[in-house]
Each structure stands twice: as structure tokens, then as C-alpha cells.
Structure 1
Amino acid sequence: MATHPGPIRKLWYQWKMMQLPWRKQWLIGFDLKGNTYWEFKDALHSHRHRRIVKYSVWTHHGDVNVPPQWVQWLRHTRYEAPSIAEQQADVYRQDRMKVLAAQADARWAAKPSALDAPDKGQPVHMLESRELDGKSEGQDRIEKEQPEEEKTRKRTRTEPKDSPWKQQAKGNPGDAWQPAAWAPPPRRRT
């Protein structure tokens, strides 16, 4: 219930909760939204009691939300009806869970993703080479030790005339292949 019931309503609840022998139905409890939960004797089975919920007068039927503890009680999964303190603790738990979920989402969003653009700066793993201007650290150190003539000679690389890479560039052998039209074979007479 959003607001606590007044003294007259509390007296009415206490009166309806009494399981007097002539009474056919009695109030078991209510939830924080104002729904009341009733139990009554089944006409066919005297040993079993039926359980129902009566929604608050101010609630539209499309907006009715029965808490899980009361659903368990309605389906006879739970023997004892939930108390108000238990329902309030569950509401507090749900609010706390929402705060923790929002914090976890914020932490997850702060971590870099593999799907991010390269300019966002992915962390470099220790096993990968750290390239500086297209060169690795070891390659940069070797080039500093070599004279300028050797550096230019290394950069101008010529491929041999009979390179297999140039031959493959002409085309693949199956590039000109086309499937033949299908013609059915003559039918055998039986």
C-alpha cells in the first residue's frame, strides 16, 4: 500500500482476518499496492481452501501487478502468507539491484571494446609488437646501427622476373569455364 491504512481500516482488517466458524471467507493479508488476499472454503472439497486476490478499487485491471510472494501463496506453493516487512525488504532489494545493475553497465561501457574504431586506442597486448611509424622496436634499433647506404638498398627491393606472384596475376585456369547446358538422355521404353 502506498499509504498506511488508518485506524478504522486497521480495525476492519482485523475483524475480517478472524476465522470465525460461521464465516465463509476471511482476509489473509494485503500487499503494498492495496490488493487484498482472501481465503474461503471450497464448496466441493471441505478439506481445501481456495485463495483469491481482490484488486484495489483505484487500480485499472491492465495495471495490476501481483508480487511473486503472493503469487506463490495463491498457487499453494507457499504455505504462509508474506508479511509486510518481507514485501518491503523485497522492494528494497529490487531498488538496490537496479542501482548495482546501472553501476555494472557503466563499468562495462567504460571498458574498450574490440568493435571500437582504431582511433580510440585499443590496449596493446604484451605479446604483440609495438609498432612506431610502421616499424617495430627491434627493426628501428637495427636501422639506427646500419649506415644510410644499406638502408636505401634494403628499401629498394626488386622481385625476380619469374616470380610466381606475377604469373598468378594473369588469371586462374578456371576463370573462363562456363557450365554446359543440360540435355536429358533418351527415355528407355519398358
Structure 2
Amino acid sequence: MDIIKQKHPAWKRLLHRWQARRDIPFRRKFFVGYDLYGNTYWEFTIDGNMTRLRRKLEPFREEIFKVDYFKTIPPQWLQWLRRTRFDAPSLEELVQDQFRQQRLKLLAQQADEKWQLEKLRLDEEQRVKLQHELQRAELEKNNAPRITETVEASKSVDENDPWKQADESKDTNPIESASIKPQNPWKQADEPRNADPIQSANIKPR
């Protein structure tokens, strides 16, 4: 109610109370209520039909274009003007709705800050992980020539080591290393059959 006191003086508020009474005969315009911007809402009739009164808005401050009035009309009063709401909203309802909107804005801001911090944390973790991977790859790259040199040196030592050569000679299979190949007895038995009988024949003199 303090907001209305700042918008309208006392005499005007008393006049609105008088205009809100519907028990006075021959009255065709009735005051309904205020909003938080100081706008006033009315019901009136032109033809005297009191069963269906028309509804209108009287703005607190005049604008050049009527479409600019929608910036200051709360959704509750807009529903009442369009007859999608039967009862007019009270100032307490409008104040509570304003608090609710402010609270939603505050919660949305806190959620945005939370997700922003979470994004920064994930980016930092990704950066640290990538830095560790680069350091590990750099260490492997620097150690690769040393490992190659060590392997080559060990190979050269093994080639010149007589004890290792002796061990290798002991490990060899004597059967595999033998140069004499065993002869096939079946092939030897078949050779006389394939030979020429005239040349192979030997006549022994008596």
C-alpha cells in the first residue's frame, strides 16, 4: 500500500474508494483496483447493461503510443482485461509475484555463476591433463636415442663375446648340423629294377 501512497495522494485514494461503490444508483463507472505502477482499472457501461460491464485501463503516466502501456501492465491485470480471469488481482498478490520474479532472477544468476565456475574447473583440468601428456611425450622422445644406443651397444658386445659363441655352439642340434644325409633303403632296392638287364647281366664262365 505504500507504493500506492507514493503514486496517488490521499484525496484521490478516497475518491477511488467512493467510485468503487456499486450501491449508488445511476452510476455507470466503477473503480476496481491499482497495480504496482500506479495504473487504475475500471469497469463501465455505455448502454446501462450492468450484467456485462466493459473493462479498461487508465494509465498513471500518459504515453505517446498505446502499445507502450503493455510494458507496465502486470500479467494478472492483463488476464482480467481480456476476461480470462474473473476476479481482479490484489496488491498483495502483485507484490508476492514481484518477489517471486526477483527470487527467480537471483536463482538464475546463481546457477549461471555455478555453471561458469564448473566450466572453468573443467577447462583447468583439461589443461593440466594435456600439459602432463605433453611432458610425458617429451620425456619419451628424449629417452628414445639413449635406449637405441644401449641396444646397439649390447648387440656389439654379444657379437664379440667368445663365451656366448661357445654357448650357442653347444645349443646347436648335432643331428641338424650333420652334413651327411641318411640314404633311403627303398630307393636303393628299386635301383636294380630300373637298370638295363643286358648291361647288368654278368655271365660267369665255367
Q: Same fold (TM over 0.5)?
A: yes
1:133 is matched by which residue type in structure 2?
A: Q
Letter of the 1:15 partner, please give it.
Answer: W
Which amino acid in 2 is paired with 1:21?
A: P
Partner residue of 1:97? 104
- Do structure 1's residue 82 and structure 2's residue 89 form an aligned pair? yes
Deviation at 1:103, TM superposition (A): 0.7
Q: Give the equivalent residue in structure 1 for 2:27.
A: 23
Aligned counterpart, 1:107: 114
1:36 maps to 2:43: no
Closer, same or farther in 2 for the Cα pair 1:38/1:149, shift >3 Å?
closer
- The equivalent of 1:9 in structure 2 is 12
Partner of 2:154: none
Contact 1:38 1:51 in 2 (8 A): yes
Unpaired runs of 5+ residues, structure 2, are 152-206
Identical columns (%): 37
Distance in 2, matches of 1:96 and 1:25, equals 38
2:51 to 47, 53, 60: 47
Aligned-partner SS, 1:79: coil
Deviation at 1:112, TM superposition (A): 2.2
The CA distance in 1 between the partners of 2:44 and 2:87, in whole Å, is: 15
In the alignment, is the contact (CA less than 8 A) between 1:73 and 1:80 conserved in 2?
Answer: yes
Q: How much does 1:95 deviate?
A: 1.2
Amino acid at match of 1:10: R
TM-score (norm. length: structure 2):
0.54
The answer to whether the 8 Å contact 2:28/2:44 transfers is yes
Gap runs ≥5 in structure 1 = 154-190
Question: What is the DSSP-based 3-state SS (H/G/I as helix, E as strand, rest coil) of the residue aligned with 2:135?
Answer: coil
Moved over 4 A (4+): 148-153
Letter in 2 for 1:12: L
Task: Tell me the SS of whatever aligns to 1:91.
Answer: helix
TM-score (norm: length of structure 1): 0.58
Alignment partners' CA distance in 1, 2:48 and 2:29 = 15
SS in structure 1 at match of 2:86 = coil
* Deviation of the 1:61 alpha carbon: 4.5
Which secondary structure state, in structure 1, belongs to the residue aligned with residue 116 of structure 2? helix
Change (3 A) 1:131 1:151: farther
Please say if 1:60 is aligned against 2:63: yes
Compare CA radii of gyration and give the structure with the larger one: 2
Give the aligned CA root-mean-square deviation in angstroms.
3.7
Residue 42 of structure 1: CA displacement? Answer: 5.3
CA 1:68 to 1:151, structure 2 compared with 1: closer, same or farther past 3 Å? farther
| CA deviation after TM superposition for structure 1 residue 132, in Å | 6.5
Q: Which has the higher helix share?
A: 2
Cα distance in 2 between the residues matched to 1:132 and 1:69: 61
Describe the shift of the 1:2–1:151 C-alpha distance in structure 2 as closer, same or farther (beyond 3 A): farther
Q: Which aligned pairs between 1:97-176 and structure 2 lie closer than 5 A?
A: 97-112=104-119, 120-122=124-126, 131=133, 133-135=135-137, 149=147
